[in-house]
């Protein structure tokens, strides 16, 4: 049984891969929360900041290897292979969606 990739998570991946910061930020709710190994970012400004220092700013490229439903409604765990000029490797990202957008993402 496979899980369909929600549009917001696909937008997160596609915007990263195309280097489109505005589209990346638009995939998140206004009050979004991003946690990258304990480093916390809040709202669109925080997401944009993280994107510039750790994601598109590092020419990251995501390859979705798997996606599974999380424990809560509208939550998903995506296993992504990341390449670029920053972190390179494979690991999980936990997403919580709300109203078709990303409310939170935890990278650990």
State pLDDT tens for residues 34-46: 999 999 999 999 9
Query: In angstroms, rounded to a whole number, what is the distance separating the alpha carbons of residues 42 and 68?
Result: 25
Query: In angstroms, rounded to a whole number, what is the distance separating the alpha carbons of residues 58 and 31?
Result: 24
State pLDDT tens for residues 52-106: 999 999 999 999 999 999 999 999 999 999 999 999 999 999 999 999 999 999 9
Instruction: Say what the pTM is.
Output: 0.95
Residue 87: its H or E element: none
Helix, strand, or coil (residue 12): helix
Q: Which of the following CATH numbers is that of domain 7-107: 3.40.50.1820, 3.30.540.10, 3.10.450.50, 3.30.300.30?
A: 3.10.450.50
Domain boundaries, the chain: 7-107
Which residue's structure tokens are 């998570």?
A: 9
């Amino acid at each position: 049984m496979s899980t369909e990739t929600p549009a917001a998570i696909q937008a997160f991946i596609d915007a990263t891969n195309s280097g489109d910061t505005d589209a990346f930020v638009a995939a998140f709710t206004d009050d979004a929360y991003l946690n990258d190994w304990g480093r916390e970012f809040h709202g669109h400004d925080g997401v944009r900041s993280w994107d510039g220092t750790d994601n598109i700013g590092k020419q990251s490229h995501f390859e979705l290897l798997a996606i599974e439903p999380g424990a809560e409604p509208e939550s998903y765990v995506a296993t992504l292979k990341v390449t670029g000029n920053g972190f390179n490797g494979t690991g999980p990202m936990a997403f919580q969606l709300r109203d078709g957008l990303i409310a939170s993402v935890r990278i650990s």
